[in-house]
Amino acid sequence: MNKCCICCPVLNVGAHLNRVINNMEQMGSLFVDYKIVFFYDQSSDNTLDIILERIKSNNKIFVLVNGFHKRVKERTHNLAHARNKMLDFVREKCSNYEYFMMVDGDEVSSSKMDIDVLKRTINRKDWDGITFNRAGEYYDLWAMSSKRLVLSLWHFEQPNTSTIFRDEIYHEIRECKEGELIHAYSAFNGVGLYRTKKFIDSKYDGLPRLDLIPPFLIERTKDILKNGIRYFWRKEDERDQDCEHKAFHHYAVFNNNAKMRISPESLF
C-alpha cells in the first residue's frame, strides 16, 4: 500500500520543530495515507509541548516518550535506541505500509523543502533506501559508506581522513550522470526513505558492526587509507561508537540485497 510512516527522534529541538513538522506533513501528503511518530527524550525546552499541540490539529501524529531508558554518554547508542523504538512502532502499526522514513528533528530538516524532489523519487523503482544531497555542504560523512570506503571515517586518524571521505562523495556527485542515482552501502543526510519490506527486519546499532561487512570491502578501505582501524576520540570510560545508520543500512544491503542510493538532487 502506498502509505508511509515518518519517524523522528527529538531532544531539545523546540526552536526548529514546528518547521520540521510542517515539512513532514508535506512529505506525508504525497502518500495515500501517513503517520508521523516521534520518539521524545526528556528535554529542557518546549519540544514535547509543541508535539502535543500539533497532535490536537493532526490525528496522524503520535509520540513515544522515553520513560525508562537512561541516556548514556555515547550519542549514537541513544539514537540507536530511539530509532529502534520507532521501528517497533512501524512493525506493530504500519507493517503493511510500503514505505517508512527517518527524519532528523533539528535544523537540518527545518529549511525550505523542494517537495517535487521527493515526489519524483517515490515513483522511481531503482532504489530500496535513499537519502538526498544537500545544497552547500554534504554534512553527514559519518553515515556514509561508499563503494570504495565502506568503513567509518572515524575508524581512521584525522584530519586527512575527513578530507578523503568528503572528496569521495563530491566525486560521486560530480560523476553521477543525469537521471541516475549514486550507489552506496550506507548514507543518511537528514532524511532517509525506505521500502519497508527491505529494511523492516534491520536494526540500528551505535556500536561498530564490522561483522555485517564483507571482509574484502574492509580490506579495500584499509588499503586506500593506509591505516588500521581505531577510534581516535574514545575515552577509557566510553564504549566504541559508530554512526547508528551504518549497521541499519549494512544489514539490509548485505543480507536483503537492498539497493541503497543517494540522490544527487537536494531536498532542502
239-259: pLDDT as tens digits: 788 999 999 999 999 999 999
pLDDT tens for 92-130 read 999 999 999 999 999 999 999 999 999 999 989 999 999
175 vs 153, which has greater pLDDT?
175
Indicate whether 104 and 167 sit together in one domain. Answer: no
Indicate whether 106 and 124 sit together in one domain. Answer: no
Q: Residue 1 has what pLDDT?
A: 63
Q: Using pLDDT thresholds of 50, 70 and 90, give the confidence band for residue 204.
A: very high
Check pLDDT > 70 for residue 23: yes
Q: Rounded to the nearest 5°, which phi and psi values hold at 262?
A: -120, 125
Indicate whether 157 and 267 sit together in one domain. Answer: yes
Cβ–Cβ under 8 Å, residues 263 and 130: yes
What's the average model confidence in pLDDT over 191-218? 96
Domain count, the chain: 2
pLDDT tens for 67-78 read 766 778 788 999
Q: In a 10 Å sphere around its CB, with 0-12 CB exposed, 13-18 middle and 19+ buried, how is residue 59 labelled?
A: exposed
Grid cell at residue 89: 512502532
- Please tell me the pTM assigned to this model: 0.95
Indicate whether 58 and 131 sit together in one domain. Answer: no
CATH number, position 61: 3.90.550.10
Count, residues in the chain: 268
Chain-centroid distance, C-alpha 259: 15
DSSP secondary structure, 191-203, as one string: EEEEEHHHHTT--
Kindly report the CA angle at 139 between 133 and 145, in degrees rounded to 5?
75
Q: Residue 234 has what pLDDT?
A: 63
Encode 103-140: b = buried (16+ Cβ within 10 Å), e = exposed: bbbbebbbeebeeeebeebbeeeebbbbbbbbeeebeb
Q: Residue 130 has what pLDDT?
A: 98
216 CB neighbour count, 10 Å cutoff? 8
Lowest mean pLDDT among 15-19, 22-26, 153-157: 153-157
Q: Residue 236 has what pLDDT?
A: 65
Q: Is residue 30 part of a domain?
A: yes
Q: Is residue 168 part of a domain?
A: yes
Q: How far apart are CA 50 and CA 46, in angstroms?
A: 6
Query: Any idea which residue has 523519487 for its cell?
Result: 121
Q: Residue 159 has what pLDDT?
A: 73
The last residue of one of the domains, among 67, 96, 113, is 113
Lowest mean pLDDT among 110-114, 178-182, 222-226, 246-250: 222-226
Q: Is residue 191 part of a domain?
A: no
Instruction: Find the domain containing 139 and state its range.
Output: 115-186+196-268
Check pLDDT > 80 for residue 82: yes
Percent of the chain at pLDDT exceeding 90 = 82
What's the average model confidence in pLDDT over 130-139? 90
162 vs 80, which has greater pLDDT?
80
Q: Residue 233 has what pLDDT?
A: 59
What's the average model confidence in pLDDT over 207-236? 85
Q: Residue 235 has what pLDDT?
A: 63
Q: Using pLDDT thresholds of 50, 70 and 90, give the confidence band for residue 37.
A: very high
